[in-house]
Structure 1
Amino acid sequence: MKIEVLHFGKDAGLEQNGGYLEIKDANSNQHLFFIKIYDIKYNPKKEDDVQDMFIIEMGVRDGVVRIKEEHGRVYAINLTERSAEMVYSPYESEKKIIKQNRKSQV
C-alpha cells in the first residue's frame, strides 16, 4: 500500500480541498480508495480557496499513520477501518473533547 496526501480533492470529484489521503497499490500505483481525515466547513460568503485547509505533515509513529494540518491538529489514521481520530489540538475546546474520547475508549 502506498499513502499519498491529496491536496486538491475537488479536482478528483471530492467535496473539499485538503483533508484527504489517497491510498494506492504499491506495485501498480492504481488508486484504491480515499480516506477523509477532517471536514472543512466552507462559508459561502468567502472564497473557497482561502478556506481550504491542507495537510502539512505525514508520518508513521509506532505503526500508526499520523498527519498534521495547517492549524496544528494531529490525526491518527486507521487504514483498516478507513477512519481518522483527532489525537492533538492546540485549541482548548477541542482538547476537552479529545480527553473525553480517550476516557470513553478505556
Structure 2
Amino acid sequence: MSTDAVIAAIADPTRRRLLDALRERDGRSVRELTEAVAPLGPHVVLKHVRVLEAAGLVVTQKVGRRRLCHLNPVPIVQLAERWIDDFGARTASGLTALKRQLEDEGRVT
C-alpha cells in the first residue's frame, strides 16, 4: 500500500462516505454499504470497495455469498504520523475541538 494510493482513495467523496459508514459500524456487507451511500448501485459500491481494499483501507472477508468489509485505520494513522508531529497534533486537536463546539452552538457553518 502506497501513500499515493491511500491519498487517491480518500480523495473521492463516495469512498470517504463508505469509510465513515464502516467507522460507524464495522463489518458491513456490500449490500449494507450500498444502502448507506444510496442511490449508488451495488456494482458501483463494489468498485469503490476494491479501490479502498487496494489502498489497504478496507479488508474484505467472504462469508457465504456475502462480502463483509472491515475498516483498517492503519494507513490513515501512518499518513497522520508522517505529516503531523506531536506539537502539531495537539494544536490541531484543540482547534478542531473549538470548531466543533462553535458549530454545535451555531456560531460557525
TM-score above 0.5: no
TM-score class normalised by the smaller sequence: under 0.3
Compute the TM-score of the two structures, normalised by the length of structure 2: 0.25
Greater relative CO (CA pairs within 8 A, separation 6+):
2
Structure in which a larger fraction of residues adopt strand: 1
Compute the TM-score of the two structures, normalised by the length of structure 1: 0.26
